[in-house]
RNA sequence: AGCGCGAUAGGAUAGCCAGGAUAUUCCGCCGGGCUCAUAACCCGGAGACCGGUGAUUCAAAUUCACCUCGCGCUACCA
């Protein structure tokens, strides 16, 4: 291990990307927070002094816009979300040492101080830019306050991005027919002076920084395009009256761009923790101004802010640079990212309302794949992991060992741990620490799971239930060894599953909190006596699984059939056709009789469809979304008078109708028979 | 378009930076065992030309080049 391996003698600060005070949290967010929480607990487990801090991100245009829509003051609006976030964090056992928000006094003060330092040292300059303006109200219209038509594709777009259409970023002034979203007035463009952070001053520094940075590969490499290319200066002010006022002698009406004060909250929140517990326990200045080990856990969508702007700000104002950035991948549903506006997500509240143990989700999120890769969430996958690894392996081992020990010996037999088992536990401890140093929480958690697996094999092969008659002394030895493994397993898994392991810890007769002990304790004797244990994990049975799946399916399908893909304005802008033209379409009910793969194609299926008067051979691009057996017998809608087409060398005589990107097949509610005309 | 991250048995995954002989683990499948334990657990087996092509090497999943596909980022999306 190198000299600066964890644990170091410095203070560590683990932070999580701030939740934006604008909407509910889903399990994609939780992937980041569970990772941060598990990391901070793990660091403490190996003896690193650590603070885990976060806060709500209160400012910015989206909050201002949404508050306005609800007729609230932005502060009231943001604070209500800030309050709401306490519950899901508590429920998921995410224990921040401090959870603040960006609009509080400490953050306001520190942010202004940092910006002033940057300004005083000439890293900030004024520049006139075009901003949208509401001439009637005499108000500036930043970012999302302005709407109009995208100059590239014509779709309805916000001032800064064509988010409904071609997704292109729009520069100020590009949008056509700009209107204020507040008043509906036509907007115009005016010149206005703004503050720019000269990031190019830090190019050399950042090049060094990105080579030193530890963490996930995406965080270390994605910013290189900017850092090793030419850095563009960063506009750090906005024309709204919600945010932290720009500091300086000549007060302006500008507030700081939300990303400036959002990241400073990492420092502010640490300071608040420090102020509360005293600097003898945790000195924020030692961490942030001297030699702290700063680790940021974020979603991979905000890498640039943390790996480019933020280190430049810190360096320019004399603060400690981040040691590592861990950028987590997204949680997807059917390979596609959650969409909060379409309610295509697993919300944290959904999870709680199913009365599922939070530790199960924590374990799943931590161990399901590599941290930086996207994962595809499914309840079946989740249930497999819970039932296989937690119930079957870990839980079963703990339960059978503790129960046997309690019944036969009333606790831990008076023996020394065998050399073999002692060595195996030490290996697990080493594996755990090594994994933390590689920022792999997956392997650190699996160190515990694998040890439990070893325990299961150990007890099975030694069969103490037989030995207790033939060789009682050896039986006691085996159980003694198993109990040591139990103790170690609990400690190793405690960062990932804090509640369950604490419960077992107490059942083993331990009197302190498992979260106060370090890894070394795993080799010390368990208590001599304890009571009957309880089953650590409850399985997710088939009925529950089916229920979870159908609830989710229902919601996703409901949303995709409700026309959510198209905003009302989009559909109303369509070119209308005459009824006569519509009548020319011959749409009929067809029944799928056979399905065949088309070799060489991943997407296409060859369908034989009964359309009443005849059967047709139709090629459809639905192979990705349906299994061949599921399709047989389905009633679908067929456009029968379409020109024949040759697709992938196969003739297609007609077209099967399906909705959207996931090719949701149109089918019937009643019992219409094949050939029936649709009108 | 540029850049980043990926592609490994039916599904999900590890290994890749520091190249080495039968490619890891979990679910599922097949066969056997056990009964202390939550129909759990243990042992054995089948199943992968490690996305493609080429290069370097005694040796490539691992390094290099090019290509294909997927996802994302591109600075006023927090």
Range with the lowest mean pLDDT among A224-238, A304-318, A350-364, A525-539? A224-238
**Span CA (A623) to C1' (B54), Å:** 33
In this prediction, residue A337 has a pLDDT band, given cuts at 50, 70 and 90, of confident
CA–CA dist A645, A318 (Å, integer): 67
Range with the lowest mean pLDDT among A207-216, A309-318, A429-438, A580-589? A580-589
pTM over 0.90: no
Max distance between CA atoms of chain A, in angstroms, equals 95
| pLDDT tens string A642-651 | 666 656 556 6
**Span CA (A263) to C1' (B8), Å:** 38
Question: Is the pLDDT assigned to residue A151 strictly greater than 70?
Answer: no
Average pLDDT, chain A: 85
**Span CA (A300) to C1' (B3), Å:** 15
In this prediction, residue A570 has a pLDDT band, given cuts at 50, 70 and 90, of very low
Homologous superfamily, domain A12-110+258-342:
HUPs (3.40.50.620)
**Span CA (A405) to C1' (B34), Å:** 19
SS (H, E, C) A21-71: CCCCCEHHHHHHHHHHHHHHHHHHHCCCCEEEEEEEECCCHHHHHHHHHCC
Q: Which of the nucleotides lies closest to A220 (Cα–C1')?
A: B4
Q: Where are the domains of chain A?
A: 12-110+258-342, 121-202+218-256, 392-523, 579-665
**Span CA (A228) to C1' (B66), Å:** 24
The conformational region for residue A235 under phi > 0 = left, psi -120 to 50 = alpha, else beta, is: beta
Asked if CATH classification 2.170.220.10 holds for the domain at A121-202+218-256, the reply, yes or no, is yes
Closest residue to B27 (CA, C1′): A384
Alpha helices, DSSP H only, in A438-521? 441-462, 464-470, 472-493, 498-507
Q: What is the pLDDT of residue A568?
A: 29
**Span CA (A372) to C1' (B60), Å:** 25
Average pLDDT over residues A328-344: 79
Q: What is the pLDDT of residue A656?
A: 74
Average pLDDT over residues A372-394: 90
Q: Which of the nucleotides lies closest to A371 (Cα–C1')?
A: B5
Q: Which of the nucleotides lies closest to A22 (Cα–C1')?
A: B78
> E strand or H helix at A548, and its extent?
helix A542-561
Question: Is the pLDDT assigned to residue A562 strictly greater than 60?
Answer: no
A433 and A7 Cβ atoms separated by less than 8 Å = no
Percent of chain A with pLDDT over 70: 84
Handedness of CA A574, A575, A581, A585 (dihedral sign): negative
Average pLDDT over residues A596-616: 69
A553-557: long-range pairs with CB below 8 Å, 24+: A555/A343, A555/A344, A556/A333, A556/A334, A556/A344, A557/A664
> E strand or H helix at A562, and its extent?
none
Q: How would CATH label the architecture of A392-523?
A: Orthogonal Bundle (1.10)
Average pLDDT over residues A412-435: 94
Average pLDDT over residues A388-398: 94
**Residue written as token pair 């974020």:** A298
Question: Class of A579-665 per CATH?
Answer: mainly beta
Q: Which of the nucleotides lies closest to A376 (Cα–C1')?
A: B12
3-state secondary structure of A150: coil
Give nucleotides in strand B with any atom < 7 A to a protein C-beta: 2-6, 11-15, 25-28, 33-38, 40-43, 70-78
In this prediction, residue A176 has a pLDDT band, given cuts at 50, 70 and 90, of confident
Q: Which of the nucleotides lies closest to A170 (Cα–C1')?
A: B76
In this prediction, residue A2 has a pLDDT band, given cuts at 50, 70 and 90, of very low
Question: Is the pLDDT assigned to residue A608 strictly greater than 70?
Answer: yes
**Span CA (A45) to C1' (B25), Å:** 25
Helices (H) and strands (E) in chain A, counts: 25, 27
Question: Is the pLDDT assigned to residue A574 strictly greater than 50?
Answer: no
Question: Is the pLDDT assigned to residue A167 strictly greater than 80?
Answer: no
Question: Is the pLDDT assigned to residue A112 strictly greater than 70?
Answer: yes
| pLDDT tens string A4-63 | 899 999 999 999 999 999 888 999 899 999 999 999 999 999 999 999 999 999 998 888
Backbone angles phi, psi at A357, to 5 degrees: -65, 125
Q: What is the pLDDT of residue A653?
A: 74
Q: Which of the nucleotides lies closest to A229 (Cα–C1')?
A: B3
Average pLDDT over residues A444-469: 94
ipTM > 0.95, yes or no: no
């Amino acid at each position: 291990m190198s000299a600066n391996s964890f644990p170091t003698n410095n203070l560590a600060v683990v932070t999580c990307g701030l939740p934006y005070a604008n909407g509910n949290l889903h399990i994609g967010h939780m992937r980041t927070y569970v990772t941060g929480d598990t990391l901070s607990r793990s660091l403490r487990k190996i003896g690193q002094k650590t603070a885990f801090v976060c806060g709500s991100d209160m400012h910015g245009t989206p909050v201002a816009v949404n508050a306005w829509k609800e007729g609230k003051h932005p502060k009231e609006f943001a604070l209500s979300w800030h309050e709401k976030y306490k519950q899901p964090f508590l429920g998921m056992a995410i224990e921040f040492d401090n959870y603040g928000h960006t609009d509080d006094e400490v953050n306001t003060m520190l942010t202004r101080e940092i910006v002033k330092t940057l300004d005083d040292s000439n890293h900030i300059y004024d520049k006139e830019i075009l901003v949208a303006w509401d001439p009637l109200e005499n108000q500036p219209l930043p970012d999302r306050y302005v709407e109009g038509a995208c100059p590239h594709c014509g779709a309805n777009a916000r001032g800064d991005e064509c988010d409904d259409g071609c997704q292109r970023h729009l520069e100020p002034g590009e949008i056509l027919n700009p209107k204020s979203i507040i008043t509906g007035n036509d907007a115009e463009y005016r010149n206005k002076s703004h503050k720019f952070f000269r990031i190019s001053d830090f190019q050399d520094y950042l090049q060094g920084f990105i080579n030193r940075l530890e963490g996930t590969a995406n965080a270390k490499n994605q910013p290189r395009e900017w850092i090793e290319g030419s850095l563009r200066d960063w506009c750090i002010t906005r024309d709204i009256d919600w945010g932290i006022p720009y500091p300086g002698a000549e007060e302006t009406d500008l507030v700081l761009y939300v990303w400036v004060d959002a990241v400073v909250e990492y420092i502010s929140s640490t300071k608040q923790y420090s102020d509360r517990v005293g600097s003898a326990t945790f000195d924020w200045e030692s961490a942030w101004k001297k030699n702290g080990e700063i680790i940021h856990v974020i979603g991979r969508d905000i890498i640039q802010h943390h790996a480019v702007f933020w280190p430049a700000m810190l360096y320019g104002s004399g603060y400690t640079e981040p040691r590592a950035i861990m950028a987590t991948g997204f949680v997807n549903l059917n390979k596609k990212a959650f969409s909060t506006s379409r309610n295509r997500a697993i919300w944290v509240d959904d999870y709680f309302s199913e009365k599922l143990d939070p530790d199960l989700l924590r374990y799943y999120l931590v161990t399901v794949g590599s941290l930086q890769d996207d994962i595809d969430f499914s309840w079946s996958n989740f249930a497999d992991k819970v039932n296989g690894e937690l119930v079957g392996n870990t839980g079963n081992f703990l339960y059978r060992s503790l129960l046997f020990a309690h019944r036969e010996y009333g606790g831990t037999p008076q023996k020394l741990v065998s050399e073999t088992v002692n060595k195996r536990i030490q290996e697990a401890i080493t594996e755990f620490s090594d994994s933390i140093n590689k920022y792999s929480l997956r392997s650190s958690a699996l160190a515990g799971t694998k040890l439990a697996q070893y325990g299961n094999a150990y007890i099975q092969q030694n069969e103490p239930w037989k030995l207790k008659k033939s060789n009682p002394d050896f039986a006691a030895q085996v159980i003694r060894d198993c109990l040591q493994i139990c103790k170690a397993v609990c400690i190793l898994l405690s960062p990932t599953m804090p509640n369950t392991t604490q419960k077992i810890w107490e059942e083993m007769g331990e009197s302190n909190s498992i979260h106060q002990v370090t890894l070394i304790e795993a080799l010390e004797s368990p208590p001599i006596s304890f009571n009957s244990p309880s089953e650590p994990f409850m399985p997710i049975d088939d009925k529950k699984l089916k229920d979870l799946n159908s609830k989710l399916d229902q919601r996703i399908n409901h949303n995709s059939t409700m026309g959510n893909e198209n905003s009302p304005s989009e559909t109303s802008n369509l070119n209308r056709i005459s009824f006569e033209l519509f009548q020319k379409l011959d749409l009929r009910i067809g029944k799928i009789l056979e399905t065949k793969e088309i070799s060489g194609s991943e997407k296409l299926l060859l369908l034989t469809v009964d359309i009443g008067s005849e059967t047709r051979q139709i090629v459809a691009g639905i192979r990705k979304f349906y299994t061949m057996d599921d399709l047989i017998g389905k009633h679908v809608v067929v456009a029968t008078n379409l020109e024949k087409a040759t697709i992938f060398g196969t003739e297609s005589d007609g077209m099967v109708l399906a909705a959207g990107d996931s090719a949701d097949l149109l089918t019937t509610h009643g019992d219409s028979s094949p050939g029936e005309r649709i009108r």
